[in-house]
Structure 1
Amino acid sequence: MKVTVCIGSSCHIKGSRQVVEQLQYLINENNIGDKVELAGTFCMGECQQGVCVTVDEEFHSVTPDSVKEFFEKNILSKVK
């Protein structure tokens, strides 16, 4: 599974660094680093949507406050 987080200026202002850090922590905590590739990219063209994240090309809008719920629903449930 490939998870890509936008680290462009608009998403950075909205908390992409915190989103990346939390995802790194959750991936390690759940021992799924061998199943999940976490990557960064610049603008995805959906700047108004908040921190843009794709999971295997499927778009999601994530905030630092919604990372855990997003992770459990869209990543953990699909790789376990």
Structure 2
Amino acid sequence: MRTQKMERTKIAICMGSSCFSRGNRTNLGVIQEWMESNKANDRFELTGRLCCEQCSKGPIIEINDKAIKVESIEHLHQLLEKNYD
């Protein structure tokens, strides 16, 4: 019997100095805490990446290769919940 492996949502956090200082330092912790509290570690693949070259728009995260400006912690939670389903 074969079991179908669920595809994981890929989240990449820009670790460039601009994005990191504009909020991705906090966003990293928020994502890790959200994944742990929702037992979602098997549903997401969380990585860091070098500069996304969108410094003036930061902080930037990528979800499945789509760059998104994180407006607030509430916005980040909405993004995570939307991609959890």
Query: What is the CA distance between 1:43 and its match in structure 2?
Result: 0.4
TM-score by length of 1: 0.84
State the alpha-carbon separation in 1 of the partners of residues 71 and 28 from structure 2: 11
Q: Does 1:18 align with 2:34?
A: no
Relative to its length, the structure with more helix (as a share) is 1
State the alpha-carbon separation in 2 of the partners of residues 23 and 61 from structure 1: 15
Q: Does 1:47 align with 2:41?
A: no
State the alpha-carbon separation in 1 of the partners of residues 78 and 64 from structure 2: 18
Larger Rg: 2
Task: Give the number of equivalent residue pairs.
Answer: 76
1:51-70 equivalences in 2 (<5 Å): 51-65=59-73, 66-70=75-79
Q: Counterpart of 1:3?
A: 11
Unaligned ranges ≥5, structure 2: 1-8
State the alpha-carbon separation in 2 of the partners of residues 43 and 17 from structure 1: 14
Tell whether the 8 Å contact from 1:52 to 1:61 is kept in structure 2 after alignment. Answer: yes
Tell whether the 8 Å contact from 1:19 to 1:63 is kept in structure 2 after alignment. Answer: no
- Kindly report structure 1 stretches of 4+ aligned residues shifted beyond 2 Å: 63-66
Provide the alpha-carbon RMSD of the alignment: 1.3
Q: Counterpart of 2:43?
A: 35
State the alpha-carbon separation in 1 of the partners of residues 71 and 31 from structure 2: 12
State the alpha-carbon separation in 1 of the partners of residues 70 and 53 from structure 2: 15
Unaligned ranges ≥5, structure 1: none
Q: Percent identity?
A: 26
